[in-house]
Every structure is written in structure tokens, then in C-alpha cells.
Chain A
């Protein structure tokens, strides 16, 4: 069985010469919630941004290696980057509501994708808001500014916004940073629902969150992949001494 997403010998260097990733290899299966964790500067965010080619925007960087989705290299010359980003959605650490109403935030990406039918758009907006567990809170004020939402609501709106495009893979870069425990729990709950349908790759807020939500996980340290394994294996019986030290809180 081919992996949903396969990372092969991936290395990445920033314009200032800092090597963010070294020879990363890993496979991620469909419908799993895969967690990338490690201390800061481990390369987690860089890796996420390579998976939807947002890292392309930085000038002077260097990448080697391949990223395959359904067996096809996303860095192949004939790949339409815009199309790719619709298939690989992303939610950022800081919620990124766009200027406009809640409704237009969600409708925006659909319109960009060429969907003009108002009925289809309204339907998809409602469904994705429900999937992100936000519908009940905002259904009566869809025309209000997206900036009027609370931090947790904004983040779930951003999640709903990427879901509206019906992607195959969702990248979550620390989606619960700055959220209170109740909002965090709501986001985590919706993730458990969502992985029935999507493949989710997430950088967690903490080791605790990683062990709470992960099906499988990868531990990154200074741009190197230390260990990949199931939740059980990585958090209960890590093979590598560094993984053990990190998950038990000896450093980090």
C-alpha cells in the first residue's frame, strides 16, 4: 500500500545558510492523525510549510529531496501550486482571519477555486463550520466581522475555512497556541471527527497534547528526524534516549 504522503531525503536550508531540515524520511498513512513534535527550532513548521509549498515564497532557500502525495512528487515541474494548496489545507499558529465577514472568509476560498453557485457555497460553508464545531456559535451572525470572534472561534473558523475546500490533507501548525483549555478541547475533539475523512498532520502545542491526540508521531530535533512510531511506542517505550528524555521532560 502506498503512503498518502511520503517524505524522501528531504533537506532544507534557509537563505542565511541555516539548515532547518536534514535528510528527513517518513511515510504518513491516509486517515491518521500524525504529530510532528520536538523543541523549538527542530524544523517542525518548516517541514509543514514544505508540504504545501508555502516555503517556496522565501527567496534564496535550497531544498533537496522529494515529497510525494499519492505517489506523485509535489515539487515536479508540472505541478500547479495553487491546486496543490487547495488539496493540502493549512491552519496557522496565529489565527489568520481575512478582512471581511465570517461568511466571506469561508466563501472566499471557494470563489477563488472557481465555485460560483451561491447555493453550493452556502451549503459548504455550513457543513465545514459544523465540522469545525463552530456552527452553533456563529450561525446567527455569519455577516459579522471575523475579527469580532474570540481567539478559539477564530482558530476554528480558520480550520473550517480550509475544510470548505475539501482538502485531502490538513496541516495544523500549533493550532491551539494561545487557546484556553476549553477551546483546546473543542479543537481536539473536532480533529478526532475529522480524521475519519482527512489525513491530518499536526505540530502540537506540547508533548502532552502530542500524546493525547496522536495516532503516530515523529520526534524532530535540530532538523533531524530522531524517531517515528505509534503513540504507544513513542510516548511509552521510546527506542531513542533523546526521545525518552524529551517526552519525560528532562529537557525541552
Chain B
């Protein structure tokens, strides 16, 4: 039978057990699997959050809020002041961001816009290999090589917030560089040609056209880099000195030992009795960390969305 003879049949009533029905089955199965996978991700994340709340919430009931907001962290004496840990985390993270973002962005701009092809071919893979170095190895490097240098420079000890910030900065640099470079690469060549044809210099083109056009990609690069810095535990534990006290204010704060929230959880979780107050306070620290990352993420999303809306206003 020729296909021409068959063709009209499909325009009539669909026959039972016709091939299309079987295809619909496989469609249905695949759709269901994809849906299940998607839902499971949401469900698991929700469960993690609920678990964190369940374990951490008792801390807020059993420990007076004045205790939690105090400046002393001595769990053995039931002193659970979170402020020193919060300050420790903030110091290290802000320091890391202040080092990594300018360094990362300029490196990416150099790689993407100025470097001759042969340099790019060498540097890009090298930077990507850097991302694969286990964080503890960097921490070790900080302990052995960096800390003596910092102590030699006049700090009371080499294990300080600054040491941690440098290690974290270098840990997040590869992420920031390669994602920013990808974002710059994705800017259409027409933008550059258009700007150059108007008599913009290379630097004006980069500053006024290429970077703004790549802005959302750059924000994501910085976010992922910062995310790595906030969440990092072991390397930081190794090089920040682990002293849960609030350093004196001023620039000197960076050159005193601190202890971060993540390091506290990692160091003390093994020693606490499950269900004890100390145990739930550690989970409460987890909740605080979660809130901070959530805040940073939503700010970044606002920023990307906001700039897209504002893009009509100015470059």
C-alpha cells in the first residue's frame, strides 16, 4: 500500500491501539520522571530547612536572647553570644570579597579583552585547575607559608582574619575569573564594533559598553565566589586562629585571630550531647548562616532584575 492510500485514514476517527497512543505513553513516563525529579529537589530543600528549624528553634526558647546577643562565646559556662562568631565571619568574608572581586574582575578583563591569544590559551586552563585545588590544601598553604609572613609583618600572630581572607579570596578567584570571562565573551561583537566605530577608545568601550552589558553575568560570578567564601569551613578554621572574641575596631581588626560561624559548627559538633542546649545553639548558628546567604542571594537577584529594568535609564 502506498503512503498516499494510507494518508486519509489518519484524518478520520483515530483508531484504537494506533502507534500515536504508544508514543503518548513514553511521553507521559518521561514527563512524570522529570516532574518527580523537579519536585524532589524542592521537597528535599524544604525538608533540610525544616530540620534546621526543628533542631535550632529550641535554642531561641531556652537561651535568653540577651545571652545570644552577648559578646562572649563560652558554651561550657552556658554563654552563647553569637556576636563574636558573626563578626568573625563578616571580617573574613568582607576581606575576601575586597581582595577577590577587584583582582578577579581585572584579571578577567585582561584575559578577555587585552591578552593575546597565546597568553589566554595558557592562562585559562591554569586558572581552571586552580579551582580544582582542595580547600584544605590552600588552608595548609596559608598555615605554612602565609601565616609566618603576616606574623613577620608585625601582627601578634600569623593566624588572623586577614590570613583567612587571603586564602578565601584565592579560593574564590578562579570562579570569579572564569565566569566573568565567559560573561564578557558572550557580549556580542557588534556592541564593541558599534562603540569603537563611534570613536570610543578600547578602555571606554570596555568600561561603558562591555562591562555593563555583561553585568548580570558578573554579578553571578561574584555571588558564586562570595558563596564559596561564606560557606568555606576547614581552610578558614586552619588559618584564622579560632579565637571567639571580638577584635578591637579599626583596621587592626583584620590582624587579630577570629573564629567564624562555620568553623564553630565544625569544631564543636562532634563534642556536644545531642539535644543539649549547646547542640541546638549550633543549629541556630546554621539558621543564621542560612538567613545571611538567603539575604545575599535575594539582594543579588534584586540587583540583576533592577538593573534590567533600569537599563532604560542610563548605561
Residues of A within 8 A of B315 (CB): 98-100, 104, 108
Please tell me if the beta carbons of B314 and A100 are within 8 angstroms of each other in the complex.
yes
19 residue pairs A–B, Cβ–Cβ below 8 Å = A52-B197, A54-B196, A57-B193, A59-B117, A82-B201, A85-B199, A92-B193, A96-B191, A98-B213, A99-B191, A100-B312, A101-B312, A101-B314, A108-B198, A108-B208, A109-B198, A109-B199, A112-B200, A144-B312
**What is the size, in residues, of chain A's interface with B at 8 Å between Cβ atoms?**
32
Is the Cβ of A96 less than 8 Å from the Cβ of B199?
A: no
**A10 contacts chain B at the CB level, 8 A cutoff:** no
| Interface pair A165/B197, CB less than 8 Å apart | no
A85 touches B209 (CB 8 A): no
Q: Once the chains are docked, how many angstroms separate the CA of A97 from the CA of B188?
A: 11
Partner of B204, one of A92, A104, A112: A112
B194 interface residue per 8 A CB criterion: yes
Does residue B190 face the partner (Cβ distance < 8 Å to A)?
A: yes
Binding site for A on B (CB under 8 A): 116-117, 190-191, 193-201, 204, 208-209, 212-213, 311-315
Contact (A104, B195) CB under 8 Å given A98-B209, A109-B200: no
Of all chain B residues, the one with the shortest Cβ separation from A100 is B315
Query: Which chain B residues lie closer than 8 Å to A57 at the CB level?
Result: 193, 196
For A83-109 the 0/1 string (1 means CB < 8 A from B) is 101100110101011111100100011
Contacts of A143 in B (CB 8 A): 312-313
Of A59, A90, A98, A99, most buried by chain B (CB within 10 Å of CB) is A99
Residues A141-162 near B (CB distance < 8 A): 143-145, 147-148, 158, 161-162
Taking the closest CB of chain B, its distance from the CB of A184, in whole angstroms, is 20
Q: In this complex, what residue of B is CB-closest to A85?
A: B199
Query: Taking A99-B209, A101-B312, A101-B313 as contacts, is the C-beta distance between A85 and B193 under 8 angstroms?
Result: no
- Residues on the B chain within 8 Å of A158, using CB: 194
The CA of A142 and the CA of B193, in the complex, are separated in Å by: 23
